[in-house]
Amino acid sequence: MTSNPEPKDKLQRAITVDDRPGQEVLESLRTNEVFVAIVGPAGAGSGTAAKILKTFLEESDFEVEIIKASTLIRAVAESAGHPVPPSGARKSIDNVKMMQDRGDELRKGELYSRPEDHSAIARLALKEIAVRRASLQGKAFSGDPVEPDGKHRAYIVDSLRHPAEVSILREVYQDAFTLLGIVCDPAKREKRIRENFFDRSQWSDQSVKDQVRDFLTRDEDAPEKHGQHVSDTFHESDFFVDNSVDAGEDLALTGMNDQLRRFVNLITQSKIVRPTISETAMHHARSAQMRSACLSRQVGSALVDANGNIVATGTNDVPQAGGGLYGEGFTVQLEGDQRCAFRDSVFCSSNREQNNIIEELVDEFPELIAGKDRSDVLKRIRGTRIGGLIEFSRAVHAEMDAILSASISGTSPRGCRMYVTTYPCHYCARHIVASGIDEVQFIEPYPKSKATELHSDSITTESNDWLPPSQNGTHVLFRPFVGVSPRLYRRVFLKDRSYKNKVTGSFEFGAPEWGRPTEVYKVSYSDMESKLALEVGDA
């Protein structure tokens, strides 16, 4: 007697079925690792922040490893025979500049027979993290993946200098990655660098001051794409702290401590933490920023009254007759939208007028290009402040839009505070002063524009003993924003667990059913599909 064959639609499959609930399967796949990178301008104290962060994470039962980018750069440069400062040598500005050169060369790749790769230093950090993980688990790293064993570990990268480095780490570690931005008063940073890199007798020399400023300029935004671009990197931060207070050698006394402890509480979700008024306001400013269709950049602002209420937001875009900007309102604007990006001829009016001025200048003074390549001269002139003229932009700036929006709705900006996603230009600064605003907070490690220089009589960056103009003070305060960035806001403040016993009402800080906001998994999503695939009955 012959047995009947299995029907063709019942195929044998080599999938191991996990009968546990989905939450339990996911929990077993979590790494319990977090990854923090630090960015800050030279002299801001990123190394100090890394040490404090390590202490606080260890208090939360994490094993912590600090990966110094400079150490990785040194090792690779030495192996390739490129000069590096002697080990243990006293810090000097020349030695630091030498290390800047080695980092730039790594990104450029040419001296290492590699293609240009602006993420190269972060890729060295990725390898070092894999090596450290293997070591912590009693293994030797051979190049093959080392699966995390589920212990709580934190890896701190000190520090990043290029936005591509942030991008690759964020792509790899996803929500488990956070970038910590360190702000510091520019005068404080210059003072620290002079005192750390030069003898006391040289501190007041003008030549030394000039060297320090040139060094800081290169750190901020090098002319080469493969150079350091700390300003652009800083804007990618998830959390900002201020290290303008000198604390000497005692790490327990820095102005960053309370801020860093709060940061650890947020990423570990070890207690209830709610947003500050400033964090909520900057979140609104970032939301407004995304409305802009400007070809140059997106900027957002939010105006907050004395009680912390959002009274208006603003973005940089083209105004339309009747009030407000294009892109606003409930009516759909198609052919009527006359922003630069949507009109028949798409171009930036500001750039075009700048170029017209430069062409006129060269035509009027032909000696500027005598014996030189015209296009090269035009490019160099564009690199001067002429190329930064904003007079001919069609866009209302975000700060002005917020002020006008408040006024149109019948709310006075007097006594309000403004939150802006970047440092205000001097055009906006004078409108901010004239409108009666008390304070401006911005995201920017290098305060730019001529705002404080042109309006030193009415704008200050010094918060000690500051009195708001609405309380008879004499200066509007401009200061950097600190706290949770708009990028991280939703992840850490959205309630993801129970806070109480539903029967008694007593406080119970529960565990999240579907994981913390900084989770990352040991396996790819295709592996997770296989492990979570549900089979019920005969398949």
354-378 pLDDT, tens digit each: 888 888 888 888 888 888 888 888 8
In contact, 249 and 196? CB cutoff 8 Å: no
Q: pLDDT over 70 for what percent of the chain?
A: 94
Angle formed by the axes of helices 349-364 and 374-382, nearest 10°: 120
Place of tokens 């970032």: 286
Decide which of 371 and 491 is more confident. 491
pLDDT in tens, 515-530: 888 889 998 889 888 8
Burial of residue 406 (CB within 10 Å: 0-12, 13-18, 19+) is: buried
10 Å Cβ neighbour count for 11? 8
Which has the minimum average pLDDT: 359-368, 381-390, 465-474?
381-390
Evaluate if residue 333 carries a pLDDT over 60: no
Asked which of 11-20, 202-211, 316-325, 471-480 is least confident by mean pLDDT, the reply is: 11-20
Q: How far apart are CA 37 and CA 482, in angstroms?
A: 17
Q: If DSSP codes are grouped into helix, strand and coil, which group holds residue 446?
A: coil
pLDDT recorded at residue 157: 98
Mean pLDDT of 301-314: 96
The percent of residues above 90 in pLDDT, for the chain, comes to 61
**With 60 as the cut, is the pLDDT of residue 418 above it?**
yes
| Position 167 pLDDT exceeds 80 | yes
142-162: string of b/e by CB count within 10 Å (b at 16+)?
eeeebebeeeebbbbbbbbbb
pLDDT of residue 151: 95
Residue 279: pLDDT band with limits 50, 70, 90: very high
Mean pLDDT of the chain: 90
Question: Residue 5's pLDDT is what?
Answer: 53
Contacts by 269-272, CB closer than 8 A, 24 or more apart: 269/492, 269/496, 269/512, 269/516, 269/517, 269/518, 270/60, 271/509, 272/499, 272/509
Higher pLDDT, residue 283 or 322: 283
150: region left, alpha or beta (phi > 0 left; psi from -120 to 50 alpha): left
Is 70 exceeded by the pLDDT of residue 486? yes
